[in-house]
A and B are shown apart, each in its own frame.
Chain A
Amino acid sequence: MNLVCGTLAGSNGLLRANGGSTLNSAGGGGRIAVTATNLATQAGLPIRA
């Protein structure tokens, strides 16, 4: 996941890139990159990979 922006805001957002589950061999986690000049409201914006 590749998010490039001037500023990032949010109060209840979610960015996720999780690996798939399986009985035998699950996938690895993904990638999230956020490139912003100003993280306006980082709190409350969970980012999971």
Chain B
Amino acid sequence: MRANGPFSANGDAAGGRVAVAFNPAAQAAVAKPRVLFSVSRGLATIADSWYDMGTLYFPDASVLDPTWLPHTGQVWMATNAWSVGSLSVVGLVRLTPDDFRLTVSNDLVVSGAAARLELGGNQVVTNIGVGLNYLMSGTNGPRVTVGGNLTLTNGGTLLVFAGMTNAATTNWGALVDVAGDVNFGNASWIYPYSHPTNGGSVQFRMRNLTCPTNAGFCADYRGFSGGWGNSPHTTGWGQGAPAGLVAGGGYGGRGADYSTTMGGWPYGSITNPVDPGSGGSGEAGVNGGNAGGLVWIVASGQVTMNGTLGADGAYGGDGAGSAAA
């Protein structure tokens, strides 16, 4: 079943919508169907990162086979939970509902150049700066529990969009809790997105982490949002946001001034940083740069890092900088 966006030389079309209304109890009692669902975005010669795939709606996940997940689309369900034995993702699947709880008793594997598992990201950010935070989770970000290992290989990627921080308890905005090991293969990446206005970020827990060259965690440009360049122009977001327009955001160090407008100040912890960087401010017609996000790893065992952990700030156009976390 497909409702894909069309090919275009310039403009990029979004995917459509597919809704399948089945009886959950009856569906759970029969074999998993081998039916491919696809609402991919169109393929454009000139691509941008804004246009998105469409939506797939099911009453619950009983129509999805966790050992065969080649679908493409934002998956919306009436329930916010899915518990499986093992999960193998080879398609492009965004488990979208707010406060989504994915529980995998054994291993979670994302394998293949086209394989991408996205968690959260149910809201579109409209007044963003320069960067990649075009989606965000709402109040409650996703939680993932894996009883075995999490493996990303052959180009497989995992995107996690944090909700607002639950600072009163453990301070994270999304949680990926792996009882076993996190293993990266070649060209495989995890992209943690901080909440662009609240700063809630993703915490990853595991036993051991093994990462080869050309793989790792990339939180570049995925921190607090930069200011908006369209009227009304805004300063960047975050505790280290600049005092006025055009100036740069701060975090570990101070952001740059612009004329008499002061850049953002340092904030957060030296020994236990749990914040993303603050965005740079916008000016007329130019968005501020988004800040670097937060790579937050808690491993009880060994981390073998031959790849990259990145959290750089984004280029701020003509008028604003950004900080990294």
Residues of A within 8 A of B (CB): 1-33, 35-36, 40, 45, 49
Give 10 new A-B contacts, CB below 8 A, not counting A16-B308, A25-B247, A25-B255. Answer: A1-B325, A13-B309, A14-B308, A17-B311, A19-B312, A24-B318, A27-B251, A28-B249, A29-B252, A30-B313
**B221: A residues at CB distance < 8 A:** 20
Instruction: Report the minimal beta-carbon distance from A34 to chain B, rounded to whole angstroms.
Output: 9
**A24: B residues at CB distance < 8 A:** 246, 256, 258, 316, 318-321
**A5: B residues at CB distance < 8 A:** 209, 297-303
**B252: A residues at CB distance < 8 A:** 17, 28-32, 49
Instruction: Report the minimal beta-carbon distance from B224 to chain A, rounded to whole angstroms.
Output: 10
Complex: chain A residue closest to B130, CB-CB: A20
**B280: A residues at CB distance < 8 A:** 20, 22, 25-27
Complex: chain B residue closest to A22, CB-CB: B316
Instruction: Report the minimal beta-carbon distance from A40 to chain B, rounded to whole angstroms.
Output: 7
- Contact status B319-A33, CB under 8 Å: no
In the complex, whether B315 has a CB less than 8 A from a CB of chain A is yes
In the complex, whether B324 has a CB less than 8 A from a CB of chain A is yes
**A11: B residues at CB distance < 8 A:** 306
Instruction: Report the minimal beta-carbon distance from B247 to chain A, rounded to whole angstroms.
Output: 5
Complex: chain B residue closest to A40, CB-CB: B302
Complex: chain A residue closest to B304, CB-CB: A9
- Contact status A22-B309, CB under 8 Å: no
Instruction: Report the minimal beta-carbon distance from A46 to chain B, rounded to whole angstroms.
Output: 10
In the complex, whether B142 has a CB less than 8 A from a CB of chain A is no
- Contact status A29-B319, CB under 8 Å: no
Q: A14-B309, A25-B263 are in contact. Are A8 and B303 (CB under 8 A)?
A: yes
Complex: chain A residue closest to B131, CB-CB: A20
> Which of A4, A27, A33, A35 meets B255, CB within 8 Å?
A27
- Contact status A10-B315, CB under 8 Å: no
Find residues 130-172 in chain B having any chain A CB closer than 8 Å to their own CB: none
**B216: A residues at CB distance < 8 A:** 13
In the complex, whether B322 has a CB less than 8 A from a CB of chain A is yes
Find residues 215-263 in chain B having any chain A CB closer than 8 Å to their own CB: 216, 219, 221, 240, 242, 246-258, 263
- Contact status A25-B271, CB under 8 Å: no
- Contact status A19-B248, CB under 8 Å: yes
- Contact status A9-B305, CB under 8 Å: yes
- Contact status B302-A19, CB under 8 Å: no
**B255: A residues at CB distance < 8 A:** 19, 25-28
